[in-house]
Each structure stands twice: as C-alpha cells, then as structure tokens.
C-alpha cells in the first residue's frame, strides 16, 4: 500500500479498496466521481491524500479531497490532468481556480471538490481541521 492510500486510511475516510465491491452502474455518480478523483491523484503521486465525506453535512459537495504536490509544477500538472480526466469521463467541465500560481489549486467538479496544495501552504491553511468535523488528522503532522 503506498503512502497516499495509507494517509487516507489513517484519516478515517474509506479508500477504494476498503469499500464493498458493487456493480459500478448502481453506484451514485458522486461515488464514481470520487473514485475517479482518488485514482487519478494516486496515479499522479499526490501526497497525503485525505478524503472528507460531506454528504449530509454540507450542501456544497458530497466529498472534499485534499492533497499535496511536491512543487508548484506538480500541483499544476495534477490539477490540469484531473480536470481533463473528469471531463473525458463524462462528468462535465470542472472549474479550476489558482492554476497560475499553483500554491493552492481548487478543482470544483460538482459533487467532489479537490484542493491541491504545496505542503507549506497546506500546513498554513489546514483545511482538514476546518472541514474534518473532528475525524481527520492535522495536515502539518510530521511535516514542517
């Protein structure tokens, strides 16, 4: 199991492997989009991926995913690839904010909102604490 999946598992959010196997056609679109986002971030070697389920807690989305890249270049590349993949898989065009600086990039894919950070910026804003509803570990844990 790689670092990204272990970070997600320790954060209390289910990983794709931990979810019961179901017929993909019976899954909700939000769950399929979430699985796609998690897989793409894993493929792109995102660090410390945390998924926060928001269904029933907030009306903005069903999931919030937070991850880090090692540099602005990696953050920008992950954001662009993720937005392209979301569109290619038929979930519509995702809105992307913050791409020019790539310190913090927001990808709004509708049912899933993704925040990609450089590690220092992620530590500063600590969205996990703000949105985690007490379930997630602090982003700065072990990094400084």
Instruction: Domains for the chain: give ranges and CATH numbers.
Output: 3-13+28-131 (3.30.460.10)
User: Above 60 in pLDDT, residue 142?
Assistant: no
Interval 61-78: pLDDT, tens: 999 999 999 999 999 999
Q: Are 106 and 98 in contact (CB under 8 A)?
A: yes
Mean pLDDT (whole number) for 39-51: 97
Q: What pTM was estimated for this model as a whole?
A: 0.75
Query: How high is the pLDDT of residue 2?
Result: 39
């Amino acid at each position: 199991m790689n670092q990204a999946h272990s970070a997600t598992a320790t954060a209390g959010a289910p990983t794709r492997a931990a979810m019961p196997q179901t017929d993909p056609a019976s899954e909700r679109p939000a769950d399929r989009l979430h699985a796609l986002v998690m897989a793409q971030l894993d493929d792109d070697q995102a660090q410390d991926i945390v998924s926060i389920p928001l269904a029933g807690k907030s009306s903005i989305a069903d999931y919030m995913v937070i991850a880090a890249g090692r540099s602005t270049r990696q953050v920008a590349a992950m954001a662009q690839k993720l937005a392209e993949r979301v569109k290619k898989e038929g979930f519509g065009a995702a809105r992307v904010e913050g791409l020019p600086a790539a310190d913090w990039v927001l990808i709004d894919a509708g049912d899933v909102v993704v925040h990609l950070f450089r590690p220092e910026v992620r530590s500063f804003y600590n969205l996990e604490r703000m949105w985690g509803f007490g379930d997630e570990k602090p982003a700065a844990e072990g990094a400084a």
